[in-house]
Amino acid sequence: MKKEDRILSLFKKSGNSFLSGEEVSRALGISRQALWKHIEKLREAGYVIEAVPHLGYKLIQAPDKMLSSEVKWNLNTEIIGSEIHFYDSLGSTNTVAYELAEHGAGEGAVVIAEEQTKGKGRLGRSWISPAKGGIYLSCVLRPDILPNGVSKITLVAAVSAVKAVRKFSGLDALIKWPNDILVSDRKVAGILTELRGESDKVDFIILGIGINVNTARKVLPAGGTSLKEESKSSTDFSRVELVKILLKEMESEYVKFKKHGFAAVRSELKSYSCALGRHVTINASDGIKSSGKAVDINENGALVIKTEDGLKKAFLSGDVTLVR
């Protein structure tokens, strides 16, 4: 562990009370002067640290930056976040996670960026990812499933994301099948799953999640919103705190899925769906549109609609528009 991380860990253990310089230098096996240099480094990284003669140092505020020490602190997950790679700016976290996976990154490896310059949506669309506005992360998964089961991973991730957003913000977030998280029918988060595999085997899946946390609505496309906008908060939310909740939720839903299959996640998924019971139009990947009432998300993760002539149709992928 880096010296700065060890100092932060001591601060956190102390319940944010004063730590004497002597105590910390002894614990780290360094001189008081060397300690001062590390404290300065932390300040440069955005930590506000008070120094009072005879009392020592006190951590006043941590920056809302995706620093490894902040995200890893008390994370306690076993799979998700097994390794975490942080970047200030990236094209797309999915692209970097894909490259890491190609070079053997293990299950649960996560890539997080402060901003993305080429954030990806599905089908070549883009994801607006301004600096400090949101969470942009991708995770390497290596589940033992067939390639046609990958859409279930998107749904498992949607359940994790909706639960994390609810827990963190208290907002009534819902899932718009298959990959959108909405608050008051506006999109706060999206999921993009990419896959490398052969017809009968998945090598790895890259699960990308983007959440608009503090982003102003005016920089988002029509229909987009953020947690800050929806909660009418005047202060920014801590993205570090949300990312930790998200990683923990991802872990618990993914473990459930691996142990007990999709059935274990399906009823929760349905309970958070904003499409079920509503009239929807679905634009399937072949470009054909169908309309009807959304009546189920079946055991394969497909959205089932009942058309006006009473026919039931199941879709494994597509874009849904809520009509009424």
Under 8 Å between Cβ of 189 and 181:
yes
Q: For the CB of residue 118, give the shortest distance to ligand BT5 in the complex, in Å.
A: 7
Instruction: Give the C-alpha separation, 108 to 207, whole Å.
Output: 10
Site for ligand BT5 in 119-138 (CB under 6 A): 119-123, 125, 127-128, 136-138
Q: Which window, 100-108, 217-225, 278-286, 307-315, contacts ligand BT5 (CB under 6 A)? A: 217-225
Task: Say whether residue 318 binds ligand BT5 (CB under 6 A).
Answer: no
CB 139 within 8 Å of CB 160: no
The tokens for 114 are 């402060």
Determine the Cα–Cα distance for residues 271 and 4; give it in Å rounded to an integer: 44
Candidates 21, 56, 81, 210: give the one binding ligand BT5 (CB under 6 A).
210
In sequence order, what are the residues at sequence separation of 6 or more whose Cβ sits closer than 8 angstroms to the Cβ of residue 73?
A: 8, 9, 12
CB of 133 to ligand BT5, least distance (A): 8
Cβ at position 317, least distance to ligand BT5 in Å: 11
Residue at shortest CB range from ligand BT5: 190
Torsion of CA 263, 120, 238, 254, to 10 degrees: 20
Q: Look at residues 270, 322, 317 and name the one whose alpha carbon lies nearest to residue 293.
A: 322
Using the rule CB under 6 A, which residue among 21, 56, 149, 190 binds ligand BT5?
190
Any contact of residue 191 with ligand BT5 (CB under 6 A)?
Answer: yes
8-67 positions binding ligand BT5, by CB under 6 A: none
164 to 183, contacts with ligand BT5 by CB under 6 A?
179
Nearer to ligand BT5, 62 or 274 (CB): 274
State how far the Cα of 159 lies from the Cα of 176, in Å rounded to an integer. Answer: 11
| Residues 188/173, Cβ–Cβ less than 8 Å | yes
Please name the amino acid found at residue 128: I
**Minimum CB separation from ligand BT5 for residue 37, in Å?**
35
- DSSP, collapsed to helix, strand or coil, labels residue 297 as strand
| 317: contact with ligand BT5 by CB under 6 A | no
> What dihedral angle (degrees, nearest 10) is formed by the CA atoms of 120, 126, 130, 132?
-40
The answer to whether 221 contacts ligand BT5 (rule: CB under 6 A) is yes
Question: Residue 262 in contact with residue 226, Cβ under 8 Å?
Answer: no
Judged by CB under 6 A, the stretch of 27-35, 69-77, 91-99, 150-158 that binds ligand BT5 is 91-99
| Shortest Å distance, C-beta 15 to ligand BT5 | 34
Single-letter amino acid code for the residue at 265: V
Comparing CB distances to ligand BT5, the nearer of 69 and 138 is 138
Whole-number CA gyration radius for the chain: 22
Q: Does 187 participate in binding ligand BT5 (rule CB under 6 A)? A: yes
Which parts of this chain interact with ligand BT5 (CB under 6 A)? 92-94, 116, 119-123, 125, 127-128, 136-138, 179, 187, 190-192, 208-210, 212, 220-221, 224
